[in-house]
Each structure stands twice: as C-alpha cells, then as structure tokens.
Amino acid sequence: MMFDPDKTYGAVVWDMPIAVVDVEADDYVRNEDGTIKLFNMPNYDYSYICDDVDVHYLRERLENQERAVLEYEAYARGDEDA
C-alpha cells in the first residue's frame, strides 16, 4: 500500500492475537487440529507498541488470516519458502 507523501500518518494497534508458548515443550499451545491457538487480551492498552512505528515499514495483512497463521508457523519452523 502506498501512502500519500503529502500526508502525515500514525500507526495504532487494531487487533493483536497472542500465541502462548509451552516453554518446556518448546512449542506453541495448539488447537486439536494442530494449528496454533490464538488468544485475545481484552481491555489492555497496546498503544505504546506503535509509538515509534514508521508506516512505510508496514505490510498489508492478508485477507485470509488462516493463511497468515500458516505462513507464520512455517516461518517459525524455519521453512525457507515461508
């Protein structure tokens, strides 16, 4: 996505799924089908996270979030094609 160079933009956290890691097993907590279980933390102030975000480093999220999770899992495993 291209941003208009004549405008000033800021970034905010809109949605922040959280994954939980089982430290002893060195693996994510998973759903019965093997996908990573995602959690939300309602009423938590995430505003500080984007304090120093330059919008030009952002990449648009995929429409299909399930695909995004699968790509992240592949990346986390170190798959070169991720």
Tokens of 11: 């970034």
Distance (Å) of CA 62 to CA 16, 52, 59, 68, 69: 15, 23, 9, 6, 10
pLDDT tens per residue across span 62-82: 666 666 677 777 777 776 554
pLDDT tens per residue across span 7-64: 999 988 888 889 999 999 989 999 999 999 999 988 888 889 999 998 888 877 766 6
Residue 1 pLDDT class (50, 70, 90 cuts): low
